[in-house]
Structure 1
């Protein structure tokens, strides 16, 4: 059994399921299939605890999100949402103060890769969650929508800026201003936020294959690169370089055991044996 099966994640409700399908990989399954995995406040609390733990657990290098049943995620459970318009200002302030966004994911800037295994429909916050993942696998029958304008609300938890950066203003407007639902093929070929469209039975295996390829690489290098990907969304090229080379993840890469192991393995014509990110070796 892989070592990650011995981990002790935080206790969660039955609304999310945790698994460790392969070494260094966490699988999170949204588990409200009768409600199309719509998020409750309790689910968000569960995910906040789990993802904070995941960030700090050195033996976990990658996370996959998927949904139970026929949907990936229908967004927020509207029955648990705002009850009166008089609470809008209070909710707006709460959104600003919630640094991780919808489901504690849509604005979370993790140093570790996120993969979405979209097994069905994805609407509202579910699409915002997807847009914040680094790699997205979708089933052929998957669909994506940001229908907030049809409900009198806004895709304000991270969906708007992410979609505009990926798809551009005009294509983003199709989803955001029209409330339009798009197919998995359109999400890949026109909008550009899906990496692979596969048969429904192949969604999770394909996501696991992506995860396998990630954890075959140096976790120090992967985490430093992920930080750079996020920095490019906020800074110019020169500013990104300056911040990136001084980041804790990049410093750890330069000073860690894995950079030495990677170069040594290359010279010895063998596969490298990586250690957890941040592992140091004694100075020679």
Structure 2
């Protein structure tokens, strides 16, 4: 089956389909360590909004070109805006509902995997903190150095890191502006799943995506919704909202639940349909 046709983007974002149902996005400003520009932001927003609505795509991997994953915001451009009186305003920040790179505050029903090929700072680390699985090169470094530049990690990274690492460890990164190694990000701070050699970062991320797409996409999306709800709701509240969510209803009423149970009883691998698929009633 040929891959779907994505929206047109600039050369600052590269789009690939390494496996069926898997989208790969590569941040492509290697000379600038993949620092985000307004053009890249627009490209990512366009592609990810399309991804959300494209039923044949079930997982997205985000990585960087060259030796860095993402250096965060383009501070040179930010400085020009500040010096010209174009300061950031709270309403502007809140209006960008999906956060940095259209990822750091995005509440997607589909899994996001970060393939961290090198250093990540500022907004780059904030977007990683909002991914579901993180594969990091053993040479990767993660930092939230905003306080060293007079700015704030305001795009969702603070609450995500505090929930994952706890107050004191989060303070090491946020209040000291202290970078951490890939091993520390995994073993101490808890936001990296796997640390591998540089050459294995993308293959490992693709392997994880392959494991996800081997599962029912309806079940995966309903489970992802429960994970998101659990960050802001109590256990009983999570269950109450989750069972009535669109993703859970699509699972309970769709074809994939029937296929999964049938395949188990027939001792074969299931053949999944795109999420939300229901047989037409005669």
Is the pair's TM-score, using the shorter chain for normalization, greater than 0.5?
A: yes
Give 1:123's aligned residue: 121
Measured in 2, the distance between the counterparts of 1:130 and 1:103 equals: 10
Measured in 1, the distance between the counterparts of 2:128 and 2:230 equals: 19
After the TM superposition, list the runs of 4 or more consecutive aligned residues in structure 1 that deviate by more than 3 angstroms. 85-88
Query: What SS does structure 1 have at the residue aligned with 2:274?
Result: coil
Measured in 2, the distance between the counterparts of 1:91 and 1:40 equals: 18
Measured in 2, the distance between the counterparts of 1:247 and 1:25 equals: 24
Structure 2 unaligned regions, length at least 5: none
- Deviation per residue, 1:7-62 (Å, 9 max, x gap): 11000000000000000000000000000000001100000000000000000000
Q: How does 1:57-76 map to 2 (within 5 A)?
A: 57-76=54-73
Q: If the length of structure 2 is used for normalisation, what is the TM-score?
A: 0.97
RMSD: 1.2
In the alignment, structure 1 residue 42 sits paired with structure 2 residue 35:
no
Number of paired residues? 280
Give 1:114's aligned residue: 112
Give 1:26's aligned residue: 23
In the alignment, structure 1 residue 217 sits paired with structure 2 residue 219:
no
Once the two structures are overlaid, the 10-residue window that deviates more, 110-119 or 91-100, is 91-100
Measured in 2, the distance between the counterparts of 1:4 and 1:127 equals: 33
How far did 1:87 drift? 3.7
* CA pair 101-21 structure 1, distance change in 2 beyond 3 A: same
Give 2:186's aligned residue: 188
Give 2:74's aligned residue: 77
Query: What SS does structure 2 have at the residue aligned with 1:84?
Result: helix
Measured in 2, the distance between the counterparts of 1:190 and 1:133 equals: 18
Measured in 1, the distance between the counterparts of 2:144 and 2:272 equals: 40
Measured in 2, the distance between the counterparts of 1:151 and 1:269 equals: 59
Q: If the length of structure 1 is used for normalisation, what is the TM-score?
A: 0.96
How far did 1:264 drift? 0.1
Q: Indicate if the aligned counterparts of 1:119 and 1:200 stay in contact, CA closer than 8 A.
A: yes
Measured in 2, the distance between the counterparts of 1:104 and 1:23 equals: 23
Q: Indicate if the aligned counterparts of 1:220 and 1:252 stay in contact, CA closer than 8 A.
A: yes
Structure 1 unaligned regions, length at least 5: none
